[in-house]
Chain A
Amino acid sequence: MISNNSIYLPEIAKIVSIRRLTELEKYFEIRLENQREFSFIPGQFVQLSVFGVGEAPISISSSPFDKDSIGVCIRRVGDVTSAIHRLEIDSYLGIRGPLGNGFPIEELKGKDILFIAGGLGLAPLRSMIYYVLEKRHDFGRVIILYGTKTPDEVLFRDEMETWNKTEGLELTVTTSRPDKNWSGKTGVVTRLIPFLKLDPQDTYALVVGPPVMYKYALLELQEKRIPATNIILSLERRMKCGVGKCGHCQVNGVYVCLDGPKFSYQTLKFLPEAL
């Protein structure tokens, strides 16, 4: 019996452009074949399929105002992401989504926004950064702290140069293992936090990076007296279904795919398995 409303059914999408960003990461621009507008909230994710290989959850990296295509920054690390890396322009993918909650946009309006990105954590934040830049007057200060291990791992390098010159955007890029050509900051990204002058009640920190970064980011942000409600983190978990059934992404009583992946630290404090 065939029914067309399975929650597991992907739509077909085509890769319209590919940019190599680093040794491990490529940026893919994807367009739905059925011409449907793809609306999403920054911070949401999609399930991308390579039929015959499988499905993997991937954050959306592009601006939510670009509705005829979406951009995803994919690190070649597992079976599905490796298969996507082997695809060429005009190849097809399956896509389900958008999934998850995304950043709490309404709550963030009128606030100073501090983006803290570690490594690939820039990918989901980039979508939110473009939202803030588009609606610049809805927000206060915009600060971006971005750290990678080596200079070669810095993503979206040309955009970094643009953002560096953008008025009203305070960008600092740091690398913890710089080479001799690196002229920027050095050290881990969380060590940049103490140097910031922040208005704690009016600042929201959006933090995305590897688990180890969260530990130090939280210490530094608490040192700055940022309330737990104003710290938003993104959790990465194994996911299969993306719709709250398969159980893989469960953290204590919450499903990262349904209730997250973005959570305030106020919520995560009560989930011992989260951090």
Chain B
Amino acid sequence: MPHMISVLIKKKDIDIFLKKLKEEYTVYGVKQKETGFYIFDEIETFSDPLDNYIPTLLPPKKYLFPQRETLLSFSTAPYPEVKPVIESKKQVIFGVRPCDIHGIKLLDKVFTADREDKNYTQKRANTIIIGIDCMKPCYKYAYCESVGCLDVEEGFDILLTDIGDCFYASIGTAQGEAIIRENACFTHAGKYEEEKICRMKEERKGRFEKKFLTDVSNLPSLFKNADNDPVWDELNDRCLGCGRCNIVCPTCYCFDVFDCVDLTMTSGERRRQWDACTLKDFSVVATGENFRPTRGQRLRHRFNRKFNYLMTKHSTSFCVGCGRCSRSCPVHIDVAETVNAVINNNKQK
């Protein structure tokens, strides 16, 4: 990345900045629910205590690849007509953590690979991502450092780092730079802030725990030989096949497609909605055969997508270490524990 200007914004000016952004964009950011959980939602203001938030219930993926979206509209009478529907609007996602920035980068890869999915890419092109960097571990489920997703070099338009009463803003794209140039809230960073940010990044290195017992780059070859690992039998007995891990994942993008017909029965829409490879009927064909009939097989497939299949195809881990799946699992299946079991069982072979 070419070295661009680095600037500062005072925390008290963030709301002015957001208000300015709202003139042109729908702005999404983090809110805390009464239950204590954090979510991404449309925001009016940035509340200061929220700079300590832990991963949101759902990742910001939902603004690029919504839970449900229309792909086509059609009418059948008198003559059939079908049109693509690609909904997108100018939006800012504010406060995206490095893990989720990595998640979006991975979705960028899968939706442009082979054949471009315009329903995703047009939303993506209309989206400004303003990240907030992490200087300390957020909660016990996270292992971003283990999968190389703590440091983030690209995938954001602007990345903010909390340096006290200010945010230090790194610029990732020309669009991010334009936004900053148009905004009087930003001032040039000096040598003092430059040095401070370097020192902070150096200091955070020791704070994040490496939870995997091997380097993530070793996982594809380990998983290739782990189809018969006893861990899958153990998980087969524990996993409920509920699909929660898929639904909360920033890099899961499997979907189902279905038609909805209007009451007139002559027009309707084709829509897609999130699907989950851990659900029982995910790979059932019309004749009734299920090619991954057990929960253990389906969970093994999910782990392989993260650490083997997609990782091999795209040369990068497809798990970003946010820990949402471990947090949301009703039977406490933990990704780091599972990966380490595979690593240990392989050593004993």
A4 touching B84, Cβ below 8 Å:
yes
B286 touching A244, Cβ below 8 Å:
no
On chain A, the residues within 8 Å of B309 by CB distance are 250, 252-253
- Considering the complex, give the chain A residue whose CB is closest to the CB of B255: A246
At the interface, yes or no: B192 with Cβ under 8 Å from chain A?
Answer: no
Q: A6-B119, A248-B275, A273-B292 are in contact. Are A238 and B283 (CB under 8 A)?
A: yes
On chain B, the residues within 8 Å of A243 by CB distance are 114-115
Complex Cα distance, B86 from A55, in Å, reads 19
Partner of A246 from the list B85, B87, B115, B254 (CB cut-off 8 Å) is B254
At the interface, yes or no: B308 with Cβ under 8 Å from chain A?
Answer: yes
Complex Cα distance, B283 from A7, in Å, reads 22
B259 touching A54, Cβ below 8 Å:
yes
At the interface, yes or no: B111 with Cβ under 8 Å from chain A?
Answer: yes
On chain B, the residues within 8 Å of A211 by CB distance are 289
At the interface, yes or no: A237 with Cβ under 8 Å from chain B?
Answer: yes
A2 touching B111, Cβ below 8 Å:
no
On chain B, the residues within 8 Å of A20 by CB distance are none
A3 touching B257, Cβ below 8 Å:
no
At the interface, yes or no: B139 with Cβ under 8 Å from chain A?
Answer: no
Complex Cα distance, B286 from A77, in Å, reads 6
A236 touching B285, Cβ below 8 Å:
yes
At the interface, yes or no: A200 with Cβ under 8 Å from chain B?
Answer: no
Partner of B268 from the list A2, A52, A241, A246 (CB cut-off 8 Å) is A52
- Considering the complex, give the chain B residue whose CB is closest to the CB of A94: B82
Q: A246-B257, A258-B114 are in contact. Are A6 and B291 (CB under 8 A)?
A: no
- Considering the complex, give the chain A residue whose CB is closest to the CB of B292: A273
Complex Cα distance, B279 from A247, in Å, reads 13
B76 touching A9, Cβ below 8 Å:
no
On chain B, the residues within 8 Å of A81 by CB distance are 286
At the interface, yes or no: A1 with Cβ under 8 Å from chain B?
Answer: yes
At the interface, yes or no: A178 with Cβ under 8 Å from chain B?
Answer: no
Complex Cα distance, B113 from A211, in Å, reads 30
Nearest CB on B from A241, distance (A) = 7
- Considering the complex, give the chain A residue whose CB is closest to the CB of B277: A247
At the interface, yes or no: B261 with Cβ under 8 Å from chain A?
Answer: yes
**Binary per-residue interface labels of chain A (231-269) against chain B in the complex, 1 for a CB within 8 Å, 0 otherwise:** 000001110110111111111110000100000000000
At the interface, yes or no: B80 with Cβ under 8 Å from chain A?
Answer: yes
Nearest CB on A from B81, distance (A) = 8
B257 touching A244, Cβ below 8 Å:
no
Nearest CB on B from A18, distance (A) = 18
Q: A1-B88, A7-B118 are in contact. Are A253 and B111 (CB under 8 A)?
A: no
A94 touching B114, Cβ below 8 Å:
no
Complex Cα distance, B253 from A248, in Å, reads 11
A7 touching B115, Cβ below 8 Å:
yes
At the interface, yes or no: B221 with Cβ under 8 Å from chain A?
Answer: no
Partner of B285 from the list A51, A238, A245, A251 (CB cut-off 8 Å) is A238
On chain B, the residues within 8 Å of A53 by CB distance are 259
Nearest CB on B from A56, distance (A) = 7
Within 8 A of A (CB), among B82-133: 82-88, 110-111, 113-119, 122
At the interface, yes or no: A5 with Cβ under 8 Å from chain B?
Answer: yes
B82 touching A1, Cβ below 8 Å:
no
Partner of A252 from the list B72, B85, B257, B304 (CB cut-off 8 Å) is B304
On chain B, the residues within 8 Å of A210 by CB distance are 287
A94 touching B80, Cβ below 8 Å:
yes
- Considering the complex, give the chain B residue whose CB is closest to the CB of A257: B114
Complex Cα distance, B292 from A251, in Å, reads 10
Complex Cα distance, B87 from A228, in Å, reads 47
A1 touching B116, Cβ below 8 Å:
no
Complex Cα distance, B83 from A78, in Å, reads 25
On chain B, the residues within 8 Å of A56 by CB distance are 286
B286 touching A78, Cβ below 8 Å:
yes
Partner of A253 from the list B122, B261, B312 (CB cut-off 8 Å) is B312
At the interface, yes or no: A12 with Cβ under 8 Å from chain B?
Answer: yes
Complex Cα distance, B292 from A258, in Å, reads 20
B72 touching A248, Cβ below 8 Å:
no
A51 touching B82, Cβ below 8 Å:
yes
On chain A, the residues within 8 Å of B258 by CB distance are 54
B71 touching A8, Cβ below 8 Å:
yes
Partner of B76 from the list A51, A77, A258 (CB cut-off 8 Å) is A51
At the interface, yes or no: A272 with Cβ under 8 Å from chain B?
Answer: yes
On chain A, the residues within 8 Å of B292 by CB distance are 273
At the interface, yes or no: B282 with Cβ under 8 Å from chain A?
Answer: yes
B253 touching A247, Cβ below 8 Å:
yes
A244 touching B76, Cβ below 8 Å:
no
Complex Cα distance, B256 from A55, in Å, reads 11
On chain A, the residues within 8 Å of B86 by CB distance are 1-3, 6
At the interface, yes or no: A121 with Cβ under 8 Å from chain B?
Answer: no
Question: Among B74, B82, B117, B309, which residue has the most Cβ atoms of chain A within 10 A?
Answer: B82
Partner of B118 from the list A6, A49, A77, A241 (CB cut-off 8 Å) is A6
Nearest CB on A from B114, distance (A) = 5
Complex Cα distance, B85 from A2, in Å, reads 6
A10 touching B268, Cβ below 8 Å:
no
At the interface, yes or no: A40 with Cβ under 8 Å from chain B?
Answer: no
B84 touching A51, Cβ below 8 Å:
no
Beyond contacts A92-B79, A252-B309: 19 other A-B pairs, Cβ-Cβ < 8 A, are A1-B88, A2-B84, A5-B118, A6-B71, A6-B119, A12-B80, A51-B74, A94-B82, A236-B285, A237-B291, A238-B282, A238-B283, A238-B285, A247-B254, A247-B275, A249-B283, A250-B309, A252-B304, A253-B308
21 contacts between A and B (CB under 8 A): A2-B85, A3-B118, A5-B84, A7-B117, A9-B83, A9-B84, A51-B76, A52-B76, A52-B265, A53-B259, A56-B286, A237-B285, A238-B283, A240-B255, A244-B113, A246-B254, A246-B256, A247-B255, A248-B283, A253-B313, A258-B114
